[in-house]
Copies of this chain bind each other. A is one copy, B any other.
Amino acid sequence: MTDASLAAVLRAKGLRLTAQRQLVLEAVHELGHATPDQVHAKVAEVAAGVNITTVYRTLELLEELGLVTHAHLTHGAPTFHPVGEAQHVHLVCQNCAEVSELPSAFLAPLAESLDREHGFLLDIGHVALFGICAGCGDNRG
């Protein structure tokens, strides 16, 4: 279905379905959230010849097509993940760098009050919350 919808969206814009595009989209789905570099590595497992440049171009394209989005999780590294799955918030542990996910419903009250009190429309999927995760925080008091 991933490939089918990719083909459809591409065709609708007069663009072409290529092996590279399928592989990049698959990699993003399999990795969950990954940097361009990680996507490239994943793709390279199957097709070693694919260039990092192509990965960048393809991620940008897939984002325009609405098939993936990116968020800014760790230091300067944009990470890409599939659209269409349930929206989620990213929790980034500053100690172990572990990224976990939270249903976006968790931010619904915040989103509502931001809108009501500040007129700010929160883009929930793009949010990353930093802090110390349960595992690392166990060492406290």
Which of A7-15, A21-29, A52-60, A109-117 contacts the other chain? A109-117
Known: A121-B131, A122-B131. 16 other contacts (CB 8 A): A72-B75, A76-B76, A76-B78, A94-B126, A102-B118, A109-B110, A114-B129, A119-B133, A119-B138, A120-B129, A120-B131, A120-B133, A120-B137, A121-B137, A122-B129, A128-B128
Could you say which of B119, B127, B138 contacts A129, with CB atoms under 8 Å apart?
B127
- Is A107 positioned at the interface, with any CB of B under 8 Å from its CB? yes
- Indicate if A134 sits at the interface (CB-CB under 8 A): yes
Identify A120's interface contact among B77, B118, B132, CB under 8 A: B132
A91: interface (CB < 8 Å): yes
A91 to B77, CA, bound (A): 20
Interface residues of A, dominant DSSP: mixed
A123 at the interface (CB under 8 A from B): yes
Residues of B contacting A77 with CB < 8 Å?
Answer: 76
Q: Which residues of B contact A109 (CB under 8 A)?
A: 109-110
Chain B residues within 8 Å of A138, by CB:
119
A126 — which chain B residues lie within 8 A by C-beta? Answer: 94, 130-131
Residues of B contacting A140 in the complex (Cβ-Cβ under 8 angstroms): 121
18 contacts between A and B (CB under 8 A): A72-B76, A75-B78, A76-B78, A106-B110, A106-B113, A107-B110, A114-B129, A114-B131, A119-B133, A120-B133, A120-B137, A121-B131, A121-B137, A122-B129, A123-B130, A123-B132, A127-B128, A127-B130
